Structure 1
């Protein structure tokens, strides 16, 4: 079946399809470059995805040369854990990240999402987003009770509010 990369296991201690991960990241980076070349500032670009798409979004958004407007990860995990920290860009800590994960996800277990989010805050030192913040800053980690490997209306409402913070309306000229 078509996918972003081959999943060998849902465990950080197993081998990963590094070649497939990096190839998919390259393809997304090419799309971002095309948008920037067309006149959209990189800080107005948000990459996001679900499951494997979340993995590629994290890898692209936090290791890429451009500081993006944000990264959205729904039901994903941090890939290439042993290399991710050394691959992270200098601006990774300042890229806002929205992470949503179902507490009952049987495919990407909540423990993997939790460990991944903790990796971002401890190893990459991403700040934790505060609810009182007017803009999207740091990691916004959101767990949805009863949600399996899917998205919910509540998660999508939270994501919409986050996008409005990450990409506020530009003042009219």
Structure 2
């Protein structure tokens, strides 16, 4: 269990079957841990890829009557105009950037790292990808939204200078999501196409899928990882 001291246990890790030459860092959703996602990635693992699923610290969450639970940052509401925990989002993003930096120190270059997440974790992965100086291999954003979206440049400013230095983004969303409505996902995809090269942005929808993942989606995630993190010649 996470403690109330804002610390979190070590990430759940699916090690590479051979020398790790690439990594996926994947962030779970509100109230969850990294263990379930580590199991999911173990089922679609690639032998040269290391999968890192960190656990969020436990904190009181305003959305859930200030109950303490694993959360990357506070959430005040789910409506598009709800106030956002700007300080908490930025603090969490810096922690994820530090995790990326640690993998770089461990010998995996940033362009061989995919960042991703589900729901709140997906939101944090998008924000982090748009604000990091590291060039990532890509982002996998599932059932999520872009936090602090108004802090990014408008279309006219960003069209010729993409904000995000990652090469590709795969965004997925169920069309029957009752928690993070599908319209949030489609609006986020439209915003992302303004901030990155739109040719590098893929938005996939899944009929009847609620706020969860499905086998079809995980196959799409695996294919994206295979494309962005191919084996290198000396493996």
TM-score (norm 2): 0.65
Structure 1 residue 101, shift from structure 2 partner = 0.4
Pair 1:127 & 2:198 matched: yes
Question: 1:108-157: per-residue Cα shift (whole Å, max 9, x none)?
Answer: 00000000100111x314313xxxxxxxxx11111000000000000000
How many angstroms does 1:14 deviate by?
2.4
- Per-residue deviation, 1:95: 2.6
Match of 1:74 in 2: 142
RMSD (Å), alpha carbons: 1.9
SS of equivalent residue, structure 1 residue 5:
coil
List runs of 5+ in structure 1 lacking aligned partners.
129-137
| Rg (Cα) greater in structure | 2
Choose from 71, 90, 109 the match for 1:22: 90
**1:78 touches 1:116 (CA, 8 Å); kept in 2?**
yes
Measure the CA separation in 1 of the matches of 2:163 and 2:75. Answer: 28
Q: Which of 78, 102, 112 in structure 1 is aligned with 2:184?
A: 112
CA displacement at 1:62 relative to structure 2:
1.8
Give the deviation of 1:12 after TM superposition: 2.8
Matched, 1:155 2:217: yes
- Segments of 5+ residues of structure 2 without an aligned counterpart are 1-68
Cα distance change on mapping 1:46 and 1:142 into 2, 3 Å: same
Q: TM-score, normalised by structure 1?
A: 0.87
How many pairs does the alignment contain?
162
Rounded to whole Å, the distance in 1 between the matches of 2:144 and 2:124 is: 9
Give the number of the structure whose residues are more often strand, by fraction.
2
**Map of 1:60 onto structure 2:** 128
Relative to total residues, which structure has the larger helix share, 1 or 2? 1
